[in-house]
Structures are given as structure tokens and as C-alpha cells.
Structure 1
Amino acid sequence: MKDIYELLNDLNIDENEFEEMEVTDLEKANIKRSLKKAITKKKKRSSWKKSVAAASILVGLSITTFVTYPAYAGNIPVIDDIFRFFDNGKTDKETGLYYDYKKFSNEINMTKESNGIKITIIDAVFDGKTLTLTYSIDSEQDLGNADLSMPRITGMKAYGGTGKTSKIDTNKYVGMLTVSNLENKKLNVANIKWDIDSIRNPDHQTVIKGDWKFAFSLDATDSKIQLTDGSAEKNGVKVKIGKISFNPMSFIVYYDQEVSEMVKNKWDGVDVEFEIKDDLGNIYLGEDNGGIADEGSYQMNGSKTFKRLDPNATKLIITPHITLRDYNSDNFTSVEITKDGEKEIPLPEKPGKGKEQFELKDIIIKVK
């Protein structure tokens, strides 16, 4: 089957029929991003996850995704909304998860410079449980697949998070990260410390030492929590939706995952993804916030963030998609944090190989 670019090549087009339009820098960047994906040959990439065991708690995943767009911009400030820049090319209100984040965020504009590298926190927003911030990096050297530590929030003992960094020009980068409180409590104020003492470059197995220390506070946005008891179960996996938190930018689904002994004995891991739509037909995109579990347990409490709820919606239809998978050196690394540093934990051999996927029945939640 031909793709859209091949179909366009078959058309006879008069260039005088087109009318020029003004577009924003964000739209230019997203068009170039989509075009680059379409014309570049796909390369095989290995996915990886890291689970950290400390005090019998698995700290949520901290994954840094890195994409390079060297032709995009001459300098960082031309991107006025980094939240939307990382919205997977989505620029409209109907599809973009981070469409409203800039509007409800706080301008931080705090810069620290060390060892020829300048890091600036641009914007940040906190909803009582999840911190989302954007940043820029201006460096005198190439940072490759730059890997930064995650911020800490005072009073938060168990957390999960994700991070994304994108190269937009020579030695210039922008990024976005989230840190989510996985404990059963909500904070009215987030006292945030982000102490970065090194930047790892996995591409060259190098570490750049430095001293970038940030400290600031954020008031939580208004939010409402709705308790629920919806659940679904199949093939030895049960998912229960315990509560949903609604805020001006998004809503967060908190869930419990229960796994039978049969599944534990066969598979190394269980992943849960949600397909969510409302009674108006809107489809909601989401991001994983990580999860918490006892060491070695498949029973997990996790959360996922989705775009802002349509104010006219009265029901959410949540379809859990389950993936049972095996772990190997290409897709998983398990480490334990000790007083002497990180210690790799060997992976056990189990009969399940590859992956097995299925979906549970819909969980319908009435929005109050």
C-alpha cells in the first residue's frame, strides 16, 4: 500500500493553486518531526526498563527518550511551549495531552551553569501528586543521549517518573519530565529539589560532572478526587480502578494490578495500558507515571495521566490492555540500590517467551 507521500507524487499539481499561510515555530517543528519520521528508514531499537528496589519498594521507572532534530532551530527560545513540543506531533486541543499545560503552569526561568553546560528550568506545574516541568540545555559539547537525574519532592518517599530530551540544534536541547507521588496522599505544596551532579552520555559511556542545583516551591492546582470501585479480570490478571483525580490540565487514573500465581510462574512481567474514551466519543491519550510494589511482587499500584476531560462527559469507558512478557538483557535491567551503589540483579529463567497480549472487559466510570 502506498503511503501519503507516494500518493502525492502521483498527482499533477499546479503550485500557483496554493496559498501561503503563517505558522508558528511549534507547528514548523512538529511538521519537520513528522516528515523526518516518514522519510527516515526505521532502525531497530531496544527498549529498556529499570526497576529499583529500595526498602522493599520498587521506585517507578525513570526513562529518558532522546530524539534529534538538528535542522529545527538556531536557538532554544523559539520554542515557546515545550509541553506541546513533546505532544507526539499533536497540536490541537482534541488530541494533545499537554495542550493546556502551559496555560496552568508557573514560569520558573531558573538557570544553573557548570562545566560549560547551562541548564534552565522553563515552566513547571503541580497537581497535588504529579510534577511536570520543562527545561533547556545549552552545552559547549555534544551530550548524546543525555540522561539526567530526577527531581525530589519533600515528603514524597515513593515516586515514579518519565523524562524526554530532544536535540534541536548543535549542542542545544529541550526536555520535559514528570515525577509522580505513588503514595496515597496529596500535597498542597511541592517543595522541589533537583540536584544534578552529572550528565550521563550512554552513547559514548561517558559522564560529565558538574553542579546544577535547583530548589523552588509550587502550589498545587485545583483538583477533585473521585473514588471508584470498577474492576475487570481475565487470564489471571485483575485491574481495579481505585480513584480518578481531575484537574484543569488533565485527569489521572490510579489503579491496582493483581496477578495470579499461574501468571507469576510463567511470565517475568505484566504491563497494563489503558484505552479510554467518554460517552461523547472523545478518545484520551495518556502517559505512564510508574508504579509501586513490594520487592519481587507482581501486585502493583500505579497511575497514568490523560488529557483534560471534556466538561460535558458523564462517563469514562476504560479498556485495560494487558501484555505478559519475558525479560532479557535487551529490554530490562534490574538493579538494587545499596550503600555501595547500584547492584545488578540477575534475571530468573521462566517458561514464558516473547509476549502474550489480551484485553479486559470495559470498566465504566460515571463522572460525578
Structure 2
Amino acid sequence: MKEKDIYQLLNELDIDEKDVEEIEVSDFDKAKVKKEIKMALRKKRKRHSWKMKVAAAVAVGGLSVSALGIAFPAYAGNVPVIGDIFRFLDNGRTGIYDNYQEYSSTVNMMKGSNGVKITINDAIYDGKTVLLTYSIESERDLGDQPLIDGYLDIKETSGGSGSDQITKVGEHQYVGLITGSRLDEKDLDTVRVKWKVDSISIDGTGEKVKGNWNFSLSLQASENEVQLVDQGTEKNGVTVSVDKITVTPMSFIVYYDQLVSKEVLDKWHGIDVEIEIKDNLGNHYAGDGNGGFGQENHMRWSKTFKKLDPDATKLIITPSARLFEYTSENHGGVEITKNGETKVIATPTKEGKGSEEFQMDDIVVDLVK
């Protein structure tokens, strides 16, 4: 059976008005309900063109109609009144998450342990990256920016990368965003996700609140369109090749390869490649890297960018390369422990000193409409 949002469930209930008992609710609860209604209405107005299967997008282990309940205050819980945690945490820096709330699924799954309640508010999987927004309510102050000691595991995928950010929004109240990206390139319409939190480090003290906050959910990928590209550019022994672009309703993902010649590898310790993107209309797109995998001479990367302008017909992808020397500041030595004795393996000396940066020719992609 497909999951239904709370508004669908309430609409299907047969309730006599005489049997409804009015109850007093706080301003906090009123604000939360208003936010949920506004978000639901906005989703219904804008999602039709992408045929979003929102109700089936997230299946939470153990979640049922009875778990949602009929009382709005119980549904709202004690989550801070923030309509869009994605945008709130980005704070206008990149705009990458401007449309994620609209296409995410409401979860509202809470686990409590040792005086701390963690709630997953919203979840979304764009085919590459899983994003979970969460809120924390604690009986004690955790500092301005506590650290979540946990791991987001995307099951049945080969490795991953991720990030976590959290900020204080009230007395003993926090909101956060955790992401996890698959490093493999499998086409998975659905992923099983486990988020296991063992402790929370209190900011500024080093003290930890230990507990058991374990979450399990299954997420269906957002609607997406894949365009194969297979175009590249080369300069100074570095080749960047764009493999494909995946467009979702709220973002687009660029998959690209980094190939480095033997001459460059022999001269420099490290090679970083970045890409910047604009379209034929003059829009510049902010992006967030998803990590990569491969070998020293051939790495495969992906990067997620903000929502694509529907009127754009071309993407201009500009790669840039940075070749650099390992130093104690950017790399350090390698430590090996054997028979209780630790040895530091010195970084081999190479000819390249400091760093060298250069921009490469544009890769122009005609978008398929």
C-alpha cells in the first residue's frame, strides 16, 4: 500500500462534526500546521509536470496510519518552526537547495535516547545523493554547533561520501542536514538507507552524550532525465571528459572523468579538477561535489548543481586544474604502526613546487529537449 500524507488521510476519515472536540493549541503548533498546509498546497500546484510520485517516495520502517495520529499537536511534536531546513541551512550561499523541500518527502520519524530527541523531518534521493533534514531537541544545552557522531549508510552500494551540518535555532533546539552520495554509477531507482547515531559531541567541551538513535528508511529516486554527453577537453597533460548529465526537478548532476598523463603524475603530488557551469542565458550554477573514485591517473567525479533553467538550450562547462605539492599543511606524512611501533613514511620528493593552476577550454553541451 502506498504511503499517504496526513492531509489525504484526514480527508478520507468519516467524522461527524458533533464528535469533534476542540482543544487549545500553542502558537508554536499553529505555526507548524500553517507551514505544513502551505507546503502541501505548493507541492500540489507545481509537481504535475514531473509526475512526482510523492506518496510512494519514502517508505519508513514501522510507519503506519496510526503512527501519524489524528491530533495535529502530536504530529507537529517539538520541531522548531522552520518551513524549509534545506534553504535555512544553505542561508542563500549557493541556492542549490532552493527547490529540494518542494520535492522531498515528509518523514517526521523521531527517536529519543538519554534526554535527546532526534527527528528526521524530510528525505530525498536524487538518484545519486540521499539528503535528510533533521531536528534535535535536548534536555541540556549542546552548544552552538554540536557534532553528530554517526554514519549514513546507503545499502548495497560500493562506498560513499557525505557531509553533515547543524545549527542552533532555539533553547536546546537544533536543525541539521546530512547527505550521503553513492560513489558507484549504478542506476538505482530505490535505495535502503540507515542512519546510526551513537553519540553527540557537545560543542566547546569535548563531552559526549551517548545514546542510541537508529533510523531505517527506503527512498525512491526523484524523476530524472539522463543525457549522454561524451565530450572532453585537454590541456597541459590533464584531460576532463563529461560522461553524462542527469536532470531532476530540483537540480542537475554532471558526471565527469579526470585523466592525467604520466608526465604530470611524475612531477606533481596532487591534481584537483573543478568545473564551473553557466548556460546560454547567462545563468551561473552553484554546485556541490559528490566525491569520486578511481586511480591516480583516472578519477571519476560527479557534482550536483542548482535547478536548471527550463529555457536553457546549452550548458557551458569550464574545467580548471590545480597541480600542487604535498606539504605538512595540505597533506602530512603517512603513519604505519607495526608491532606497537609507529613510523612516519616521508612523502617522496617531486619536481613540482608550490602549485600551478590553469583554466581549460569550455565544453559546450547542447541540451536535449
What pairs up with 1:5-20 in 2 under 5 angstroms? Answer: none
After the TM superposition, which of the residue ranges 110-119 and 284-293 deviates more from structure 2?
A: 110-119
1:17-32 aligned within 5 A = none
Please, which moves more after superposition, 279-288 or 260-269?
Answer: 260-269
Paired residue type of 1:359: Q
1:223 aligns to what?
224
In the TM superposition, what is the alpha-carbon distance from 1:116 to its structure 2 partner? 2.5
SS at match of 1:313: coil
Identity of aligned residues (%): 48
Structure 1: distance between partners of 2:327 and 2:208 = 26
Q: Could you tell me how far apart the structure 2 residues matched to 1:323 and 1:367 are?
A: 29
Residue in structure 2 matched with residue 366 of structure 1 by the alignment: 366
Structure 1 329/120 Cα, relative in aligned 2: closer, same or farther at 3 Å?
Answer: farther
Alignment of 1:179-258 (within 5 A): 179-200=180-201, 204-258=205-259
Provide the C-alpha distance between the structure 2 equivalents of 1:171 and 1:263, rounded to a whole number of angstroms. Answer: 52
Task: Check 1:171–1:348 CA distance in 2 against 1; reply closer, same or farther (3 A cut).
Answer: farther
Give the drift of 1:259. Answer: 1.5
The aligned counterpart of 1:78 is 81
Q: List structure 1 runs of 4+ shifted beyond 6 angstroms.
A: 333-336
| Structure 1 residue aligned with 2:300 | 301
Aligned CA RMSD, in angstroms, stands at 3.0
Q: Which amino acid aligns with 2:177?
A: M
Q: Which residue matches 2:169?
A: 168
User: Which residue does the alignment assign to 2:260?
Assistant: 259
Asked if the contact 2:333–2:347 (Cα under 8 Å) also holds between the matched residues in 1, the reply is no
Give the aligned residue type for 2:362.
Answer: D
Q: Give the C-alpha shift of residue 233 in structure 1.
A: 1.4
Change (3 A) 1:218 1:278: same
What displacement does 1:104 show? Answer: 0.2
Please tell me the residue identity of whatever aligns with 2:217.
F
User: What's the CA shift for 1:284?
Assistant: 0.7
What one-letter code is carried by the residue in structure 2 that aligns with 1:251?
Answer: F
| Counterpart-to-counterpart distance in 2, 1:155 and 1:329 | 37
Give the match for residue 318 of structure 1.
Answer: 317
Amino acid at match of 1:97: I
Partner of 2:142: 142
Letter in 2 for 1:361: D
Q: Is the CA contact 2:95–2:306 (under 8 Å) kept in the aligned structure 1?
A: yes
Gaps of 5+ in 1: 1-23, 25-74
Question: Per-residue deviation at 1:216?
Answer: 1.0
Matched residue, 2:97: 98
The corresponding residue for 1:13 is: none
Alpha carbons 2:181, 2:290 under 8 Å: kept:
yes
Change (3 A) 1:145 1:293: farther
**d(CA) in 2 for partners of 1:112, 1:203:** 25
Distance 1:202 1:77 in 2: 20
More moved, 112-121 vs 297-306: 112-121
How far apart are 1:299 and its partner, in Å? 2.1
Q: Aligned partners of 1:182 and 1:334: how far apart in 2? A: 26
The CA deviation at 1:245 is: 0.6
Following the alignment from structure 2 to structure 1, what is the Cα–Cα distance between the partners of residues 333 and 219?
Answer: 33
Q: Is the 8 A contact 1:151 1:192 kept in 2?
A: yes
Instruction: Describe the shift of the 1:174–1:332 C-alpha distance in structure 2 as closer, same or farther (beyond 3 A).
Output: farther
Q: Secondary structure at the match of 2:215?
A: strand
Q: Helix, strand or coil for the counterpart of 1:111?
A: strand
1:86 aligned counterpart, secondary structure: helix
Further displaced range: 220-229 or 156-165: 156-165
Letter in 1 for 2:365: I
Amino acid at match of 1:188: D
> What secondary structure does 1:183 align onto?
coil
Residues 128 and 173 from structure 1, CA distance in 2 versus in 1: closer, same or farther, beyond 3 angstroms?
Answer: same
Aligned length: 286
Q: CA deviation at 1:265?
A: 3.0
Query: What TM-score do you get using the length of structure 1 for normalisation?
Result: 0.70
Deviation at 1:179, TM superposition (A): 1.4
Partner letter of residue 81 of structure 1? D
TM-score (norm 2): 0.70
Are the equivalent residues in 2 in contact too, given 1:150–1:179 (CA < 8 A)? no
Matched, 1:108 2:111: no
DSSP 3-state at the match of 2:107: strand
CA deviation after TM superposition for structure 1 residue 170, in Å:
4.5
Task: State the shift of 1:177 in Å.
Answer: 2.3
Please report how far the alpha carbon of residue 333 of structure 1 lies from its aligned counterpart in structure 2 after TM superposition: 7.1
| Letter in structure 2 aligned against 1:277 | K
TM superposition shift of 1:273: 1.8
Q: Return closer, same or farther for 1:360/1:263 CA change in 2, 3 Å cut-off.
A: same
What's the secondary structure of 2:102's corresponding residue? helix
Most deviating of 192-201 and 214-223: 192-201
Structure with more of its chain in helix, by fraction: 2
Cα distance in 1, alignment partners of residues 330 and 304 from structure 2: 24
Tell me which of the two structures has the higher relative contact order, counting C-alpha pairs closer than 8 angstroms and 6 or more residues apart: 1
Give 1:79 deviation, angstroms: 1.7
* Alpha-carbon displacement from aligned partner over 1:194-226 (angstroms, at most 9, x marks no partner): 111133468545544321100011111111111
Q: Distance in 2 between matches of 1:188 and 1:278?
A: 28
Cα distance in 2 for partners of 1:309, 1:136 equals 29
1:118-137 equivalence runs, <5 A: 118-137=117-136
Aligned mates of 1:207, 1:101 — CA distance in 2: 32
The 1-side partners of 2:333 and 2:121 are apart by: 33
